[in-house]
Amino acid sequence: MPRPANQSNHDPDAVLDAYLVVQAQTGDRGALAVLVRRWRSRVQVYAMRLSADRSMAEDVSQDTWLSVARGLSRLDDPARFRAWLYSIVRRRAADSIRARRRARRDRTDRASPTTVEHRTENPIDEALAAISPDDRELLTLRHIDELGVTELAEVFGVPSGTIKSRLHAARERLRAAIAASNTERSEP
């Protein structure tokens, strides 16, 4: 499995990924298979975080790997593989969510969803659930998957300065949600 640290030209995992990308670009199916094995679980986890549905996450993961297989030859900089891969997962998840929403709208039997309040014993999990999905996605990519600001900028398609601002704001909202959760816990 790839090391989650910010990847650089000197990171052995990043070098191996870049090498595998170059090999796959020349038609080496074995190299593509190794890339899939190395990244499959991270793709699946990210897809699950975005979709919150195991079935959809599996579909997103499969669609992602099809897109990778079809588009790898167009990746100009093999060192950008990780950010490129995450951006594909993000787009495929957004496509799936939009398709699911369209299908729900098109159904004639519109059952109203019920909201279930879920509390965990972990205030961080509660706080993460309380912030927006965009904030949660940005914070988990940065702090769990350890993507750097430049990679996040590529994944989200915005300048690095925008990512820095969004990260700061998301951290502040998370802090506020943690404080609110702690306050609720301390009240009788």
Handedness of CA 134, 118, 101, 36 (dihedral sign): positive
- State how far the Cα of 170 lies from the Cα of 76, in Å rounded to an integer: 32
pLDDT of residue 5: 42
The larger pLDDT score, comparing residue 149 to residue 187, is at 149
The answer to whether the beta carbons of residues 87 and 154 sit under 8 Å apart is yes
Q: Which residues are CB-contacts of 104 (< 8 A; sequence separation ≥ 6)?
A: 110
Q: Collapsing DSSP states into helix, strand and coil, what is residue 129?
A: helix
pTM of the predicted protein model: 0.72
Q: Which residue reads 């999905």 in tokens?
A: 133
120-188 CATH pick, 3.30.465.10, 1.10.10.10, 3.40.720.10, 3.40.50.300: 1.10.10.10
Read off the pLDDT of residues 43-96 as tens digits, 9 standing for 90 and up. Answer: 999 999 988 789 999 999 999 999 999 999 999 999 999 999 999 999 999 888
1-108 CATH pick, 1.10.357.10, 3.90.1150.10, 3.10.20.30, 1.10.1740.10: 1.10.1740.10
Q: Per-domain residue ranges for the chain?
A: 1-108, 120-188
